[in-house]
Amino acid sequence: MNPTTLNLIAVTIFLFVLSSLLGPLIHLSPAVPAIAAFGLLGLATVDTFSLQGRAGTLVVDWFARFSPEHRSRIIHHEAGHFLVAHLSQIPITGYTLTAWDAFRQGQPGYGGVTFNTQELDRELQQGKLSNQLLDRFCTVWMAGTAAEQLVYSEATGGADDRQKFRTLWAILKRPDVEGQQKEKWAAFQAKNLIQTHREAYDALVVGMEQGASVEECIQIIEQHPLL
């Protein structure tokens, strides 16, 4: 089950218990919280089996919009992906900063930066993924977390990025210990790239916040020299 949907179920149960305890004090009929809980759990079930958790993600994203820090973290996270992908010569096809925008574009979850993965897919189909291409994609996937850690000293996002890396590592059937080392190495590389291009990164954050297009974001990066 989608983690977001699980969180909504947990919140629903909590509210049901709370309303049951406080209901008599405010003269609230027991039927009201029961009907509300039943409805929300029903929606969560539909969301899980029919919508792949998208509805729950949209609800959580809607509430998160009231948090400036949450939005800022998302922008800094995605700017890290964008910058490192461009520097790694991985074509960027688009980006979204909210779950609603991702939903409208047919993307799962909260969206983010999307890449052209044809080269990666082709090599995987041929069964000969080069170490260079592997390193490039791993570094890009770890760049969001690296950006958050650089700006906020800790990262709250990045679970989906780590899952992408671990899924690929499982396909390659390589040792788990080696995968853990590669993940740390990629995060270190991503952090170094962002630090080296910090002026471009900071300007990119502003551009993405203002809704700059992919082409405009690339121009922003290329207008700033190395530190």
**Are 13 and 123 part of one and the same domain?**
no
Q: Pseudo-torsion of CA 162, 164, 166, 171, nearest 10°?
A: -170
Return the CATH number at 79.
Answer: 1.20.58.760
pLDDT (tens digit per residue) in 136-168: 999 999 999 999 999 999 998 898 899 999 999
**Are 80 and 154 part of one and the same domain?**
yes
Helices (H), 51-175: 54-64, 68-87, 99-104, 118-126, 131-152, 159-172
**Are 100 and 121 part of one and the same domain?**
yes
**Are 39 and 135 part of one and the same domain?**
no
Q: Which of 169, 176, 179, 84 is nearest to 129 (CA)?
A: 169
Does a structural domain hold residue 137? yes
pLDDT (tens digit per residue) in 9-57: 455 555 555 555 555 655 555 555 555 555 555 544 544 444 444 444 4
**Are 199 and 181 part of one and the same domain?**
yes
**Helix axis angle, 68-87 to 198-209, nearest 10°:** 130
pLDDT (tens digit per residue) in 209-226: 999 999 999 999 999 876
Give the pLDDT confidence score for residue 88 in this predicted structure. Answer: 96
**Are 123 and 73 part of one and the same domain?**
yes
Q: 129 by DSSP, 3-state: which?
A: coil
Domain hosting residue 132, numbered range: 68-222
pLDDT (tens digit per residue) in 53-83: 444 444 545 444 546 788 899 999 999 999 9
**Are 77 and 176 part of one and the same domain?**
yes
Q: Which of 45, 64, 83 is the last residue of a domain?
A: 64
Phi, psi dihedrals of residue 135, rounded to the nearest 5°: -65, -40
